[in-house]
Structure 1
Amino acid sequence: MSKSAKPRIYNRAGKRVEVKDKTWYAVHASGEAAERVIEVFVYGEIGAWGITANQFVQDLRAMDDGVSPVVAAFNSIGGDLFDGLAMHNALSRLGERCTGRIDALAASAASVAVCGAHRVVIAANAMLMIHNPYTYTGGSAEDFRRVADVLDQTLEAIIAAYKAKAPDIDDAELRRMVDAETWLTANEAVALGLADEVGDGVKVKACLGQGAVLQRFQNAPADLLAQLDEPPEADPDLDPVDPPLVPPVVDSAKLALMVTQRCTAAGISNLVEPLLKSTQLESEEVVLAGLARAKAVNDLCVAARLPEFSAEYVAAGLDEAAVRARLFDKIVTSGKGFEIDNSLPLADDLASKVLAKQPDPTSIWASRQAAQTGTARGAKGARA
C-alpha cells in the first residue's frame, strides 16, 4: 500500500429488509402542520451498502421545517463508523426537538448515531451494543503502524460520541466496556446514561433478516443468535393457499426468452448464460428471482469497480450478502488502501493469504551458466 493511499470505508452487512408497509429506511411526516412529527426509520445497515449519512442528511433536510419534533427510530446492526458519526452530529444539531428511539437493536455504528439525539428512548426488550472500531489492512510494517494510529483516533471519536450523551459516565469504565464489546439491556443503557427512558416493548426482530451478520460479533446474546434458526413468520393478512395437486408445466423456451429480453432491457446481456445456469429455468418464480438477484449483483460489482466478477457470481447463484463479502475481500486485499469498519468479520470469512514467490533453481542455474559463458568468450577475445 502506498503512503499516499487514503482510507476508505466499507461495510459487510446483509440484505436490505422491508419492514411492514415501509422500506427499511424511510422518512415521513405525519399530522397537521401545527402537530407535525417527522419520523426517520433506520431499520438496516449504515454505510456504503445501506443508508449513507449523505442520503440520511439530505432526506432529513428536505423534510425538516425547523420546528417540528423529529423521531429517529433505529433497529440496526450498525456498519460504517464515519457515517454513524455523521448521523450522530446531524441529530445533535436538531437540539431538544430530536428523540432517538431504539426499537430493537442499536449496535456498533448505530449506537453511535442514536446517541446524537437529545433524548433516547429504548424499548424494554431492546439492546444497545458498543465495541471497538475494526478494520482490514495490508502493507508494510509502517502501513500497519499508521493504521493502528488511525484506529486509536477513531476510538476516541467513539468515546466522545458516547460521553456527549452521558457526560457523567466513568471514562475508564466506558473504555473497558467498549473494548469488551458490551451488549446493554434497556435498563443498563439508562443506568449508564446512554438512554434516558425505557419504553414499551415492541415486536420487531432484532436481526431484521440479517441475523447471520450477528455472528461477526464476539459476544452476541444467545437469544439473538437463536433467531437465525427461526422460520419466517407468515403474513396474517394473506389467505392460505392450498398447494396445486398437479405440478405446473414449465415452458423452458418461454422462460429462456424472458431471461434474454429482460437482461437486454436491463443492460446485462452478459449475464444471460450465467442466469440460465443458475436458475436451470426451474420455474417462472425462480427465473424472476434470479433476474432480480442478477441485477443487484451486477450493480454491486459495478459499484465496487469489479464488473468482471458479475458473471461468475451470478452463475454460482450467490446472493447479495455473499457478493458483498467477496467484493469486500477483493478490495481490501488489493493493496490499494485500507478500510475502517467498526463491525467484526464473520468467523469463517478470513482474508486470503498471499504466498511469496518461490525460487526457481533451474532458472537461476541457467542464468549463471549464460553469464559465465559470456565472460569466458570476452576473456579469450582479449588474449587474441
Structure 2
Amino acid sequence: MSKQARPRIYNKAGERVQVSDKSWYAMQANGDAEQRTIEVFVYGEIGTWGITANQFVQDLRAMDDGVSPVVAAFNSVGGDLFDGLAMHNALSRLGERCTGRIDALAASAASVAVCGAHRVVIASNAMLMIHNPWTYAAGDAESFRKVADVLDQTMEAIIAAYKAKAPDIDEPELRRLVAAETWLTANEAVALGLADEIGDGVKVKACLGQGAVLQRFQHAPAALLAQLDEPTDPEPEPTPDPEPPIPDDPPAPASNAAQLALLISQRCTAAGISNLIEPLLAVTKLESEAVVQASLTQAKAINDLCVAARLPEFSAEYVSAGLDTSTVRARLFDKLVGCGKGFEIDNSLPLADDLPPKVQAKQIDQPSIWSARQAAQTGKRTSLTGATA
C-alpha cells in the first residue's frame, strides 16, 4: 500500500454467492408547496459500488427548500464508511425536520448514516447491524501500522456517530456490541437508543435486494441467509397491447446493419469509449436499434465502473462477455480485494466524456537561437571586411 494513499474502509469481505440483487436510489417530493415532504430512498450499497455521498448530498441540496420535512428510508448492507459518515452529517444538519426510516436493514455504514437523523423509525421486523471497521492493505510493517492507526481513528468516528444519536448509551457496552458484530432487532435498537420508534413491518425479502453481500459478514442471521435459497416471486406479466393492423405496404426498416455499426462507432467515439466498438459489434450482432441502444447504455455504465475502480483494462472483456453491472461490480470488488495493491478507490462520479487532450506549446530552443545569431553576426563581419578590402 502506498504510504501516501489513505486506506478505504469497507464491510467485512467473504465468499460471495450468486443471487439476483437489485439496488436503487431515488429522491422525490410529495404533496403541494404547503404540505411538501421530501423522501429519500437509499436501497443498495453505499459508496462507489452504489450510492455515493456526493450524489446523495447534491441531490438533497437540489430538492431541499429548507423547511419541508425530510424522510430518509434505508435498506442497505452498508459500504464505504466515509461516505456513510458524510450522509450522517448531511442528515444531522437538517435538524428536527429529518426522520430516518429503516425499512428492512441498516447495516454497517448504513447504520452510521441513519443515526444522523433527528428521529429514527425502524420497522418491526427490520434490523440494525453495527460492527468494527474493516479494510485491506499491502506494504511494509510501517504501512500496516499506519493502517491500524486509521482503523482505530475510524472506530472512534463510529462510536461518536452512535453516541450522537444515543448520548445516554453505556459506552463500554456499545464498544462490546460493535466489536462483536451485533445484529439488533427493532426492540433492541429502541432499547439502546439507536432508534426512537417501531413502525409497521414490511416484507424483508421484498425489499432486501442485497443478498449476495450479506455473506460478507461473520454473524448474519440465519433467517436472512435462508432467504437466498428461496425462489423469487414471479413478477406479473403485463397485459399485451393490441397489435396495430399491418398496412398493405409496410415501411422499410429504419436502419440496416451498416447504419447500426455507424451508430455504435459514433456513440462510442463521442463517449470516449472507442475501445468498446469491436466488443459491441460482436455482442449486439447488429440485431436491431433497440438492442444496440441498450448495449451502448450498458457498456458506458460498465466502463464507468471500471474507471472508478482504476481497472479500465477490463471494460472490453466485461462488455464482450455480456455481463450486467451487478456482476461487474462483484468481479471488480473481488479483484480489488484479491490483488493486494490496496490503492484508494475514487468516490467521485465518473466524467461524462473523456477530457480533451492538452495542447502544449513548443518549448523555446535557446541553444539553437544563440547559434543562429552567432552565425548571422559572423557572416555580417565577413561581408564588411570584403567591402573594405
Shorter-chain TM range is: 0.7 to 0.9
Letter in 2 for 1:266: C
User: Contact 2:308/2:346 (CA < 8 Å) preserved in 1?
Assistant: no
User: Contact 2:121/2:196 (CA < 8 Å) preserved in 1?
Assistant: yes
Partner of 1:167: 167
Letter in 1 for 2:33: A
User: Contact 1:25/1:44 (CA < 8 Å) preserved in 2?
Assistant: yes
After superposition, the Cα gap between the structure-2 partners of 1:65 and 1:183, relative to the gap in structure 1 and judged at 3 Å, is same
* Equivalences for residues 96-115 of structure 1 within 5 A: 96-115=96-115
Partner of 2:121: 121
Following TM superposition, by how much is the alpha carbon of 1:318 offset from its aligned partner in structure 2, in angstroms? 3.4
The count of corresponding residues between Structure 1 and Structure 2 is 326
Letter in 1 for 2:211: G
Letter in 1 for 2:88: H
Match of residue 337, structure 1, among 343, 357, 368: 343
Following TM superposition, by how much is the alpha carbon of 1:7 offset from its aligned partner in structure 2, in angstroms? 3.2
Partner of 1:226: 226
Partner of 2:192: 192
Following TM superposition, by how much is the alpha carbon of 1:224 offset from its aligned partner in structure 2, in angstroms? 1.7
Q: Distance in 2 between matches of 1:171 and 1:340?
A: 33
Following TM superposition, by how much is the alpha carbon of 1:80 offset from its aligned partner in structure 2, in angstroms? 0.9
Letter in 2 for 1:321: S
Partner of 2:136: 136
User: Contact 1:75/1:106 (CA < 8 Å) preserved in 2?
Assistant: yes
Following TM superposition, by how much is the alpha carbon of 1:180 offset from its aligned partner in structure 2, in angstroms? 1.4
Partner of 1:356: none
Partner of 1:312: 317
What is the RMSD computed on CA atoms of the aligned residues? 3.4
Match of residue 267, structure 2, among 265, 268, 273: 265
**Larger mean Cα displacement after TM superposition, 87-96 or 297-306:** 297-306
Unpaired runs of 5+ residues, structure 2, are 242-254, 348-389
Name the SS of the counterpart of 1:103 in structure 2.
strand
Name the SS of the counterpart of 2:205 in structure 1.
coil
* Equivalences for residues 304-383 of structure 1 within 5 A: 304-328=309-333, 330-331=335-336, 333=339, 335=341, 337=343
User: Contact 1:10/1:340 (CA < 8 Å) preserved in 2?
Assistant: no
Partner of 1:301: 306
After superposition, the Cα gap between the structure-2 partners of 1:179 and 1:168, relative to the gap in structure 1 and judged at 3 Å, is same
User: Contact 1:10/1:328 (CA < 8 Å) preserved in 2?
Assistant: no
Does residue 238 in structure 1 map to residue 238 in structure 2? yes
Instruction: Look at both structures and tell me which one has the larger radius of gyration over its CA atoms.
Output: 2
* Equivalences for residues 45-64 of structure 1 within 5 A: 45-64=45-64
Letter in 2 for 1:181: E
Q: Distance in 2 between matches of 1:217 and 1:259?
A: 46
Does residue 91 in structure 1 map to residue 91 in structure 2? yes
Name the SS of the counterpart of 2:332 in structure 1.
helix
Unpaired runs of 5+ residues, structure 1, are 19-23, 242-252, 342-384
TM-score (norm 1): 0.73
Q: Distance in 1 between matches of 2:173 and 2:101?
A: 25
After superposition, the Cα gap between the structure-2 partners of 1:178 and 1:223, relative to the gap in structure 1 and judged at 3 Å, is same
* Equivalences for residues 73-84 of structure 1 within 5 A: 73-84=73-84
* Equivalences for residues 146-185 of structure 1 within 5 A: 146-185=146-185
Q: Distance in 2 between matches of 1:255 and 1:228?
A: 42
Name the SS of the counterpart of 1:78 in structure 2.
coil
Following TM superposition, by how much is the alpha carbon of 1:137 offset from its aligned partner in structure 2, in angstroms? 0.5
Name the SS of the counterpart of 2:34 in structure 1.
helix
After superposition, the Cα gap between the structure-2 partners of 1:169 and 1:98, relative to the gap in structure 1 and judged at 3 Å, is same
Output one character per residue of 1:321-373: Cα deviation in whole Å (capped at 9) or x when no partner. 343344345556464635799xxxxxxxxxxxxxxxxxxxxxxxxxxxxxxxx
Letter in 1 for 2:319: V
* % identity of equivalent residues: 76
